[in-house]
């Protein structure tokens, strides 16, 4: 059997605005949402869950019979069935969005024996294997399959390069978080005023989209820049003490992907362009820039729909593929001419690429870290499994 035997027609999920959800609920309709919680607050035996901007109530026992099962529902994409009861919106039923068993893992193992991992992932997402696709998509895929230490990528491209689609796909299939809002400590980790847990505690990783639209004033006044470099490095944030709650020391190490539109940023190399934005946010010392393993700024327009096949692997098989690639142990001695944090970034890129059957030279990884992803591509040429 080949990968074509498992491909199915791509069917995008219908998008429902929060206002539409509320109107339907107020009219007495049962509403089904396929999503993952953005935040939640536990009050005794009840939990209040933020689903696409709508606060819904559920009893913990509705989410599962064990702690692991309850937390799984709060951290993964599910089918949430909600309706209005009295003056509240309540969960009537919750079901897993992706049902995965040994069959799906067997299929994933079979495909990974036949094809390089990168090909399986790209074809499974519905793309043709083309140099432009590999160049744009590979940096996005690396954080999905590497978890030995934090790996963060920053990518600015033109519109229609598939950034938002990728973020939503990662949210639905891999339980990543997806947001277009700046990462405030309260929204990301814990709101000390209400005891609400944020996006970082409901996600395997986070995709930040449309970062070029974030207000520099908002970034600085919200205290984001005071904690963001430490969060990217160690996954730690400290919230203030309140009468209702104790000290919120939260440690949640995870990978992140940052997307923006590069149209309004011109001139300079890739790191210069990224630093224009970071400096606006208040990062005058370059601490934020230094946390990213990959900076990719590409002004060349790439319309990702030109490479779409409209046939994909089912979400359950894609989930199994990603998990199997992530579990691969790469036995190699990392080589790098860099030092400190830059060496760590280079080794992370090399290891993640090897998981994808890409035998990247250490000079290429070093160049990507020091000069940028597009610069590396232009200097060394394409990267693809042999």
345: exposed, middle or buried (Cβ count in 10 Å: 0-12, 13-18, 19+): buried
Contact by Cβ (8 Å): 126, 308: yes
Q: What angle do CA 97, 252, 338 make, to 5 degrees?
A: 115
Nearest to 241 by CA among 287, 207, 200, 192: 192
Contact by Cβ (8 Å): 255, 215: no
**5 in any annotated domain:** no
Q: How crowded is residue 14: how many other Cβ atoms within 10 Å of its Cβ?
A: 7
Instruction: Give the CATH number, domain containing residue 80.
Output: 2.40.50
Q: Are residues 83 and 140 in the same domain?
A: no
Q: Are residues 33 and 146 in the same domain?
A: no
The model's pTM: 0.94
For range 368-379, the mean pLDDT: 94
- What is the distance between the alpha carbons of residues 342 and 362, in angstroms, rounded to a whole number? 12
| Side-chain half-sphere CA neighbours of 34 within 13 A | 13
Q: Are residues 70 and 111 in the same domain?
A: no
Q: Are residues 146 and 50 in the same domain?
A: no
Q: Are residues 258 and 211 in the same domain?
A: yes
- Pick from 81, 96, 111: which residue ends a domain? 96
**329 in any annotated domain:** no
**383 in any annotated domain:** no
Residue with tokens 């080589």: 335
Q: Are residues 34 and 127 in the same domain?
A: no
For range 121-133, the mean pLDDT: 96
The residue that leads in pLDDT, 157 or 267, is 157
**159 in any annotated domain:** yes
**53 in any annotated domain:** yes
Q: Are residues 159 and 26 in the same domain?
A: no
Give the count of domains, the chain: 2
Q: Are residues 90 and 26 in the same domain?
A: yes
**379 in any annotated domain:** no
- Pick from 307, 338, 364: which residue ends a domain? 307
pLDDT digits over 70-119, tens only? 999 999 999 999 999 999 999 999 999 999 999 999 999 999 999 999 99
Contact by Cβ (8 Å): 372, 295: yes
**Domain hosting residue 76, numbered range:** 18-96
Q: Are residues 66 and 177 in the same domain?
A: no
Lowest mean pLDDT among 229-233, 284-288, 295-299, 352-356: 284-288
- What is the distance between the alpha carbons of residues 136 and 162, in angstroms, rounded to a whole number? 9
**349 in any annotated domain:** no
Lowest mean pLDDT among 4-8, 28-32, 221-225, 299-303: 221-225
The reported pLDDT for the residue numbered 349 is 96
Instruction: Give the CATH number, domain containing residue 206.
Output: 3.40.50
Quick one: pLDDT band at residue 218, thresholds 50, 70, 90?
A: confident
Q: Are residues 144 and 200 in the same domain?
A: yes
Q: Length of the chain, please?
A: 386
The reported pLDDT for the residue numbered 300 is 87
Q: Are residues 130 and 54 in the same domain?
A: no
**385 in any annotated domain:** no
- Pick from 34, 65, 96: which residue ends a domain? 96
Contact by Cβ (8 Å): 256, 167: no
For range 322-349, the mean pLDDT: 93
E strand or H helix at 343: helix 340-355
Q: Are residues 185 and 39 in the same domain?
A: no
Q: Which long-range contacts (CB under 8 A, 24 or more apart) does 103-109 make?
A: 104/316, 104/317, 104/319, 104/320, 105/320, 105/323, 105/324, 107/6, 107/317, 107/320, 108/317, 108/320, 108/321, 108/323, 108/324, 109/324
């Amino acid at each position: 059997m080949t990968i074509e035997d498992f491909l199915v027609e791509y069917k995008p999920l219908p998008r429902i605005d929060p206002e539409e959800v509320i109107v339907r609920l107020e009219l007495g309709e049962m509403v089904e949402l396929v999503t993952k919680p953005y935040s939640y607050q536990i009050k005794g035996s009840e939990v209040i869950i933020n689903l696409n901007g709508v606060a819904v109530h559920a009893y913990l026992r509705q989410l599962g019979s064990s702690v692991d099962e309850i937390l799984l529902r709060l951290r993964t994409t599910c089918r949430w069935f909600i309706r209005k009861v009295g003056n509240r919106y309540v969960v009537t039923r919750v079901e897993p969005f992706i049902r995965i068993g040994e069959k799906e893992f067997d299929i994933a193992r079979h495909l990974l024996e036949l094809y390089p991992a990168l090909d399986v992932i790209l074809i499974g997402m519905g793309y043709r294997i083309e140099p432009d696709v590999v160049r744009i998509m590979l940096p996005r895929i690396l954080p999905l399959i590497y978890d030995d230490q934090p790996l963060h990528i920053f990518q600015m491209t033109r519109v229609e390069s598939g950034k938002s689609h990728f973020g939503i796909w990662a949210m639905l299939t891999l339980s990543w978080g997806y947001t277009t809002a700046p990462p405030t400590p309260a929204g990301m980790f814990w709101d000390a005023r209400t005891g609400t847990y944020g996006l970082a505690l409901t996600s395997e990783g986070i995709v930040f989209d449309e970062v070029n639209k974030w207000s520099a004033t908002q970034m600085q006044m919200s205290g984001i820049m005071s904690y963001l470099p430490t969060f990217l490095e160690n996954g730690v944030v400290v919230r203030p003490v309140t009468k209702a709650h104790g000290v919120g020391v939260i440690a949640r190490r995870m990978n992140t992907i940052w997307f923006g539109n590069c149209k309004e940023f011109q001139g300079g190399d890739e790191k210069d362009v990224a630093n224009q934005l970071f400096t606006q946010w208040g990062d005058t010392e370059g601490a934020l820039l230094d946390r990213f393993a990959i900076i990719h700024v590409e002004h060349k327009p790439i319309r990702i729909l030109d490479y779409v096949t409209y046939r994909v692997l089912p979400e359950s098989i894609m989930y199994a593929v990603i998990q199997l690639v992530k579990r691969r142990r790469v036995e190699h001695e990392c080589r790098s001419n860099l030092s400190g944090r830059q060496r760590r970034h280079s080794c992370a890129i090399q290891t993640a690429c090897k998981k994808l059957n890409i035998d990247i030279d250490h000079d290429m990884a070093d160049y990507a870290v020091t000069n940028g992803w597009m610069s590396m591509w232009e200097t060394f040429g394409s990267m693809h499994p042999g």
